């Protein structure tokens, strides 16, 4: 069965992929290699993971506003996340997602860190305002 | 957030992809910050100009946009003087990319005058209560505090979105309740010139992103306020401050006395003057740079007077906007006769041309905060007179 969770729309779009959970906030400038989509900061919760095509779940963005353009660069290099889910979005990731056509939602009705596990198949329909956990 | 029928249409893409994205950005920010709707802005000032900061990704995004801005819009300083980049030692590859970025913005109807002081320029004057969408942190501070206009610190893409739509989301410093001071700062000794930059450098770290009310023993000029605000926006994230008896809202509005009180002593300022930021050794400064934020006509004139009849020995940059420089060619000539360079469109912080220097002497608290990190050049602050003396201009 699928579980449907309501959320707030930040960047419109629809995408599906496997969940990658990051308990740490993310600074796209510095934490992520824009060429490969690999998290390169050794101190980060998802160090070494590739965010390409994943449903990237993290609390919120942080760091330099240039991070918005790094997200755009990831998209152009075909290594961007399929969609992003935040606890509470902030402008750096919000703007980055919008200019890069990456669906972004926040404030899910249920805590994404409780309900999702790494590797779960999830559909983010931010145009419709919901997230779906597919057949588990 | 409430949108009018017309705004909804734009969000649904009925006026094209560029405006749809611009509206989506404004709505997302409005939702994040709990705005009730969009409000018209008088002008926009757009950051994200230097190739050093936005790179190829930024250039590509801007190049793909279409249409024309709806309100007067202007750019933040770029990585080089558009006319004298060779002389600055800028690589041709960098110059080519920088000129492409400027051309991409111009195509959208944005003025290619690159400055952090738009308020000195024709068409960008603002008055108390005007709503703006400016990005550069010192311009935001000046507009909010010295002019009494209202703007949040917009990011590059959000200022550009506001320019294209002609509106911004109504939150933050656009609203009365967020303009109330929450901390007092008392300085009971006399201050002048670069003291205000040093004060801002110290105060910004303690204030963070709050709104301070200053109680000063001296009455600052608007140029001195510019230096104070720029430094606080760099060492902290202060976007609005008040000065009792000086700034427009402090004079017009009765604010309750904040609970928290900070006192800044002369000895704290002296310590800033004595320290080289970014290095523990006693380095010899090999470049001197003034005009952060960009010089006003009065500051240019003052510099010209101090340099009168002198020949400097070290690199001395005087940064200003092209429009102000072009308005006062005689003053520029008087400055350059000393061997100094009057550079336009750029500054010591955003240009790659300062990299590789030993140590930079500045008269700005903002430059002191940014140059060591962004240019990897240790920096030291001194008065304008000391800066000119250090450049060798005391002969």
> Which of the four pLDDT bands, split at 50, 70 and 90, describes residue B393?
low
Q: What is the pLDDT of residues B84-114, one digit of tens each?
A: 999 999 999 999 999 999 999 999 999 999 9
Asked if residue B295 lies in contact with residue B325, where contact means CB atoms within 8 angstroms, the answer is no
Query: How is residue B374 written in tokens?
Result: 């962004």
> Which of the four pLDDT bands, split at 50, 70 and 90, describes residue B394?
low
A68 labelled catalytic: no
Q: What is the pLDDT of residues A88-117, one digit of tens each?
A: 998 989 999 999 999 999 999 999 999 999
CB atoms closer than 10 angstroms to residue A51: 26
pLDDT for res B52? 83
The rounded distance, in Å, linking the Cα atoms of B393 and B283 is 19
The rounded distance, in Å, linking the Cα atoms of B344 and B321 is 5
The rounded distance, in Å, linking the Cα atoms of B151 and B171 is 9
Chain A's closest residue to B50, CA to CA, is A66
Asked if residue A69 lies in contact with residue B57, where contact means CB atoms within 8 angstroms, the answer is yes
- State the virtual CA torsion across B384, B388, B389, B390 in degrees, nearest 10: 100
Q: What is the full DSSP assignment across B115-177?
A: -S-GGGSTT----TT-B-EE-SHHHHHIIIIII--B-----HHHHHHHHHHTEEE--GGGSGG
Low-confidence winner among B187-196, B238-247, B368-377 (lowest mean pLDDT): B368-377
B74 torsion bin: left (phi>0), alpha (psi -120 to 50), beta (else)? beta
Domains of chain A: 3-133 (3.50.30.10)
The rounded distance, in Å, linking the Cα atoms of B294 and B284 is 25
CB contact under 8 A, A94 and B21: no
Strands of the sheet containing B133-134, edge to edge, are B111-114, B73-75, B44-46, B133-134
Domains of chain B: 5-176 (3.30.499), 180-273 (3.40.1060.10), 278-390 (3.30.499.10)
The total number of residues shown for chain B amounts to 395
Judge whether residue B374 has pLDDT over 90.
no
Residue recorded with tokens 């000029």:
B221
Asked if residue B2 lies in contact with residue B37, where contact means CB atoms within 8 angstroms, the answer is yes
Name which of A8, A65, A95 is nearest B31 (Cβ-Cβ): A8
> Which of the four pLDDT bands, split at 50, 70 and 90, describes residue B219?
very high
Substitution target from B1, B11, B24 for chain A, most A beta carbons within 10 A: B24
Instruction: Report the percentage of chain B scoring pLDDT > 70.
Output: 99
Low-confidence winner among A109-123, B136-150, B160-174, B346-360 (lowest mean pLDDT): B346-360
Query: How is residue B234 written in tokens?
Result: 């760099």
Residue recorded with tokens 């101190």:
A43
Q: What is the mean pLDDT of chain B?
A: 95
Judge whether residue B395 has pLDDT over 60.
no
Query: How is residue B356 written in tokens?
Result: 């590789």
Mean pLDDT throughout B250-265? 97
Strands of the sheet containing B260-263, edge to edge, are B242-243, B212-216, B183-187, B260-263
| Residue A130 CB contacts under 8 Å (≥ 6 apart), including other chains | A4, A5, A6, A7
Name which of B25, B56, B58 is nearest A98 (Cβ-Cβ): B25
**Is residue B34 classed exposed, middle or buried when 0-12, 13-18 and 19+ CB atoms within 10 A define those classes?**
exposed
β-partners of residue B214 are B185, B243
Angle at B299 between CA B197 and CA B339, to 5 degrees: 105
User: How far is A136 from chain B, CA to nearest CA, in Å?
Assistant: 32
Mean pLDDT throughout B132-142? 96
On chain B, the residues whose CB falls within 8 A of the CB of A95 are: 25, 28-29, 155, 157-158
Give the three-state DSSP class for B58: helix
Asked if residue A36 lies in contact with residue A79, where contact means CB atoms within 8 angstroms, the answer is yes
CB contact under 8 A, B57 and A69: yes
- DSSP label at residue A44: S
The rounded distance, in Å, linking the Cα atoms of B335 and B50 is 26
Judge whether residue B167 has pLDDT over 70.
yes
CB contact under 8 A, A98 and B28: yes
Locate all alpha helices (DSSP H) within A1-136, ordered by sequence.
Answer: 28-31, 67-76, 91-99, 112-115
- DSSP label at residue B177: G
CB contact under 8 A, B55 and A69: yes
Helices first, then strands: H and E counts in chain B? 15, 15
ipTM computed for the complex: 0.86
Substitution target from A69, A93, A96 for chain B, most B beta carbons within 10 A: A69
Mean pLDDT throughout B62-66? 95
């Amino acid at each position: 069965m699928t579980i449907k969770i309501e959320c707030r729309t930040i960047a419109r779009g629809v995408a599906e992929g496997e969940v990658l959970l990051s308990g740490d906030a993310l600074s796209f400038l510095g934490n992520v290699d824009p060429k490969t989509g690999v998290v390169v900061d050794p101190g980060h919760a998802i160090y070494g993971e590739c965010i390409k095509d994943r449903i990237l779940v993290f609390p919120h963005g942080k760091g330099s506003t240039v991070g918005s353009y790094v997200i755009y660069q990831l998209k152009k290099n075909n290594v961007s996340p399929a969609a992003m889910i935040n606890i509470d979005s902030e402008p750096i990731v919000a703007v980055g997602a919008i200019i890069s056509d990456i669906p972004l939602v926040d404030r899910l009705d249920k805590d994404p860190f409780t309900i999702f596990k790494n590797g779960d198949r999830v559909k983010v329909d931010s145009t419709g305002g919901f997230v779906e956990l597919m057949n588990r | 957030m409430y949108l009018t029928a017309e705004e909804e249409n734009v969000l649904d893409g009925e006026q094209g992809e560029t405006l749809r994205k611009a509206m989506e950005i404004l709505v997302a920010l409005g939702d994040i910050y709990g705005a009730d709707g969009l409000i018209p802005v008088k002008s926009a000032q757009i950051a994200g100009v230097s190739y050093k900061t936005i790179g190829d990704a930024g250039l590509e995004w801007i190049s793909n946009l279409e249409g024309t801005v709806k309100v007067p819009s202007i750019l933040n300083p770029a990585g080089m003087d558009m006319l004298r980049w060779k002389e600055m030692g800028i690589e041709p590859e960098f110059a080519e990319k920088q000129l492409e970025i400027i051309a991409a913005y111009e195509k959208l109807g944005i003025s290619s005058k690159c400055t952090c002081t738009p308020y000195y320029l024709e068409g960008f004057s603002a008055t108390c209560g005007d709503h703006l969408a400016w990005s550069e942190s010192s311009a935001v501070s000046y507009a909010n505090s010295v002019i009494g206009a209202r703007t949040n610190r917009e990011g590059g893409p959000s200022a550009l979105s506001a320019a294209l739509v002609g509106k911004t989301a109504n939150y933050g410093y656009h609203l009365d309740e967020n303009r109330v001071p929450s901390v007092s700062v008392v300085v009971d000794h006399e201050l002048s010139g670069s003291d205000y930059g040093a004060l801002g450098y110290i105060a910004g770290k303690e204030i963070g992103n709050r709104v301070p009310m200053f109680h000063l023993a001296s009455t600052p000029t608007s140029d001195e306020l510019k230096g104070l605000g720029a430094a606080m926006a760099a060492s902290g994230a202060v976007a609005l401050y008040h000065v009792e008896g000086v700034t427009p809202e402090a004079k017009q509005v009765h604010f309750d006395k904040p609970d928290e009180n900070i006192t800044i002593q002369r000895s704290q300022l002296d310590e800033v003057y004595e320290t080289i930021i970014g290095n523990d050794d006693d380095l010899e400064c090999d470049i001197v740079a003034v005009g952060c934020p960009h010089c006003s006509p009065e500051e240019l004139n003052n510099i010209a007077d101090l340099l009168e009849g002198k020949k400097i020995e070290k690199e001395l940059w005087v940064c200003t906007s092209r429009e102000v420089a072009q308005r006062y060619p005689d003053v520029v000539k008087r400055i350059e006769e000393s061997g100094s360079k009057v550079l336009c469109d750029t500054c010591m912080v955003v240009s790659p041309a300062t990299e590789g220097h030993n140590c930079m002497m500045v008269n700005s608290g903002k430059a002191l905060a940014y140059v060591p990190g962004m240019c990897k050049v240790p920096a030291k602050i001194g008065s304008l007179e000391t800066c000119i003396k250090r450049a060798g201009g005391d002969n």
